[in-house]
């Protein structure tokens, strides 16, 4: 069942609407898949547990399996970060609160995780994230901006602070990040968000593929614009020689297209792999076991152990991270070195999972028609 385009402008889709205004109409044609991934289901459950504690209820609803130590630690950390706001007798606390913006012509209802409304005119919103993936800073995060603006339109006041709590973020400086929007910024946000929604709802909204917007788009498998990106990329690998002669902004656009095309090709390959895993035949290919490769067993545990070692050795621990995960073994060795003691540390952090069943080439196959 398709959804109205107006309703498609929910907070977590606003960045996509900003980058690809036409995505609202296209996505509206695809039914919403409410099957949650295990990670998303865990996140929903931990949100509920956190709000339970703030509301003076037992952390864990009886019907759930017992929480693990890590889950309890993460929930408690979030609660501790909010405790001083909850303890302030002047604050009114709201949890899992749906804002109604119909009077502002917004049909979706932004849902705040936790908020505190202070009679001084300050509102503080906490956005809880229980994943590892990098989350944009609230100053630049469209979801947070929508929450800030929606809360201000609903409750009034002079400023809104939005704080993202992400206890599993790989870098400690991302565990808690906040930004306070002043009245002028909130007024500007209101205009900006209305502009994005209006453009997304207009019949001639442009469709603009790009990595960020296509990644979570419901239409990404079928979207003709995403598919056609590949056709608009120059087909010669000597492109390096032409880069200097391009307008700088065209270099940016070209790179965005290449990244978007890479994503599309990856999905395409996944679809063919799925066909073969379901028994479909592709000559020259068969099902086999992928190479067994050792890898870090647990990114979080690895980063903690390697950072500790780096500090002990007087090295910069931040160099051991790429944006969301630890460096590979070879690069880690360049920083922390090898040797027997280090090898034993590396081995304790690594595992060699069984090879996956996947499509592999048949050696010696020749496509006679080519
Ligand atoms: S797949 Fe990408 S280009 Fe197509 S509608 Fe979605 S965001 Fe826009």
The answer to whether 211 and 254 are in contact (CB under 8 A) is no
212, 214, 261, 262: which to mutate for ligand 1, most atoms within 8 A of CB?
Answer: 214
Whether residue 45 sits in one domain with residue 147 = yes
First to last CA, the chain: 44
Q: Percentage of the chain with pLDDT > 90?
A: 46
Whether residue 107 sits in one domain with residue 59 = yes
Tally of domains within the chain: 3
Identify which has the larger pLDDT, 45 or 65: 45
**Ligand 1 center to residue 267 CA distance, Å?**
14
162 in any annotated domain: yes
Whether residue 160 sits in one domain with residue 15 = yes
Q: What is the mean pLDDT of residues 252-275?
A: 88
State the Cα–Cα distance between residues 243 and 250, nearest whole angstrom: 9
**Ligand 1 center to residue 207 CA distance, Å?**
6
119 in any annotated domain: yes
Query: Tens digits of per-residue pLDDT, 97-127?
Result: 999 988 877 777 899 999 999 999 999 999 9
The answer to whether 111 and 103 are in contact (CB under 8 A) is no
Whether residue 306 sits in one domain with residue 163 = no
Q: Which atom of ligand 1 is nearest to the CA of 20?
A: 8
Q: Is the pLDDT of residue 134 over 70?
A: yes
**DSSP secondary-structure letter at 181?**
E
Q: Is the pLDDT of residue 1 over 70?
A: no
Which residues have CB under 6 Å of ligand 1?
Answer: 16, 20, 22-23, 26, 207, 209, 213-214, 217, 219-220, 223, 225-226
Give the model's confidence band at 290: pLDDT under 50 very low, under 70 low, under 90 confident, else very high. Answer: confident
**Ligand 1 center to residue 200 CA distance, Å?**
12
Report the nearest-CA residue for atom 4 of ligand 1: 223
254 in any annotated domain: yes
196, 212, 217, 257: which to mutate for ligand 1, most atoms within 8 A of CB?
Answer: 217
Give helix 299-312 / helix 329-336 axis angle, nearest 10°: 20
**Ligand 1 center to residue 248 CA distance, Å?**
24
Q: What is the pLDDT of residue 2?
A: 54
**361 three-class SS:** strand
Q: Which atom of ligand 1 is nearest to the CA of 23?
A: 5
The C-alpha R_g of the chain, in whole angstroms, comes to 24
Final residue in a domain of this structure, among 167, 201, 235:
201
The answer to whether 209 and 232 are in contact (CB under 8 A) is no
Domain, as residue range, for 10:
6-201
Final residue in a domain of this structure, among 180, 201, 222:
201
63 in any annotated domain: yes
Report the nearest-CA residue for atom 5 of ligand 1: 23
290 in any annotated domain: no
Query: Tens digits of per-residue pLDDT, 198-257?
Result: 999 999 999 988 878 888 898 888 888 888 888 888 777 777 888 888 888 888 888 888
Residue 351: which H helix or E strand, with range? strand 350-351
Whether residue 314 sits in one domain with residue 262 = no
250 in any annotated domain: yes
Longest dimension (CA), the chain: 80
State the Cα–Cα distance between residues 6 and 24, nearest whole angstrom: 8
Q: Is the pLDDT of residue 265 over 90?
A: no
**Ligand 1 center to residue 22 CA distance, Å?**
8
Shortest CA distance to 18 belongs to which of 138, 159, 189, 180? 189
Q: Which of 188-197, 322-331, 351-360 has the highest mean pLDDT?
A: 188-197
Query: Tens digits of per-residue pLDDT, 146-204?
Result: 999 999 999 999 999 999 999 998 888 899 999 999 999 999 999 999 999 999 999 99
Q: What is the pTM of this model?
A: 0.72
**Ligand 1 center to residue 193 CA distance, Å?**
19
Lowest mean pLDDT of 52-56, 215-219, 291-295, name the range: 291-295
356 in any annotated domain: no
State the Cα–Cα distance between residues 98 and 276, nearest whole angstrom: 44
Whether residue 131 sits in one domain with residue 37 = yes
Burial of 265 (0-12, 13-18, 19+ CB in 10 A): exposed
**Ligand 1 center to residue 182 CA distance, Å?**
33
Whether residue 12 sits in one domain with residue 79 = yes
Whether residue 171 sits in one domain with residue 64 = yes
Whether residue 335 sits in one domain with residue 242 = no
Q: Is the pLDDT of residue 14 over 80?
A: yes
CATH of the domain at 57: 3.90.320
Whether residue 174 sits in one domain with residue 34 = yes
Report the nearest-CA residue for atom 2 of ligand 1: 214
Whether residue 188 sits in one domain with residue 164 = yes
Q: ∠ at Cα 111 (178, 12), nearest 5°?
A: 70
The answer to whether 332 and 320 are in contact (CB under 8 A) is yes
Q: What is the pLDDT of residue 324?
A: 63
Q: What is the pLDDT of residue 74?
A: 95
287 in any annotated domain: no
**Ligand 1 center to residue 13 CA distance, Å?**
12
Final residue in a domain of this structure, among 171, 201, 231:
201
Whether residue 182 sits in one domain with residue 267 = no
């Amino acid at each position: 069942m398709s959804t109205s385009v107006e309703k498609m402008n929910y907070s977590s889709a606003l960045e996509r609407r900003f980058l690809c205004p036409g995505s609202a109409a296209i996505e509206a044609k695809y039914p919403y898949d409410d099957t949650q991934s295990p990670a998303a289901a865990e996140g929903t459950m931990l949100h509920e547990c956190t709000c339970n504690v703030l509301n003076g209820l037992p952390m864990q609803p009886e019907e759930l399996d017992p929480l693990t130590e890590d889950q309890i630690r993460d929930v408690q950390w979030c609660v501790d970060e909010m405790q001083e706001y909850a303890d302030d007798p002047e604050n009114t606390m709201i949890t899992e609160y749906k804002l109604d913006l119909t009077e502002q012509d917004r049909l979706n209802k932004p849902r705040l995780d936790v908020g505190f409304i202070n009679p001084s005119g300050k509102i503080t919103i906490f956005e809880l994230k229980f994943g590892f993936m990098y989350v944009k800073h609230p100053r630049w995060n469209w979801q947070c901006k929508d929450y800030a603006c929606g809360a201000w339109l609903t409750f009034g006041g002079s400023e809104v602070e939005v704080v993202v709590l992400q206890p599993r973020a790989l870098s400690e400086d991302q565990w808690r990040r906040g930004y306070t929007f002043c009245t002028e910024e909130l007024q500007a946000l209101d205009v900006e968000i209305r502009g994005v929604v209006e453009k997304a709802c207009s019949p001639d909204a442009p469709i603009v593929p790009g990595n960020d917007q296509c990644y979570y788009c419901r239409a990404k498998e079928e979207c003709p614009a995403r598919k056609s990106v590949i056709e608009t990329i120059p087909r010669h690998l000597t492109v390096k020689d032409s880069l200097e002669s391009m307008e700088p902004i065209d270099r940016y656009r070209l790179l965005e297209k290449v990244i978007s095309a890479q994503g599309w090709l990856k999905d395409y390959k996944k679809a063919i792999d799925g066909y073969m895993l379901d028994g479909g035949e592709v000559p020259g290919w068969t099902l086999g076991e992928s190479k067994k490769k050792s890898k870090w067993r647990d990114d979080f545990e690895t980063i903690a152990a390697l950072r500790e070692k780096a500090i002990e050795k007087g090295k910069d621990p931040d160099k051991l991270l790429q944006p969301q995960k630890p460096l590979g073994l070879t690069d880690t060795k360049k920083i922390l070195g090898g040797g027997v003691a280090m090898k034993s540390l590396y081995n304790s952090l690594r595992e060699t999972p069984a090879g996956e069943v996947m499509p592999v080439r048949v050696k010696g196959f020749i496509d006679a028609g080519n």
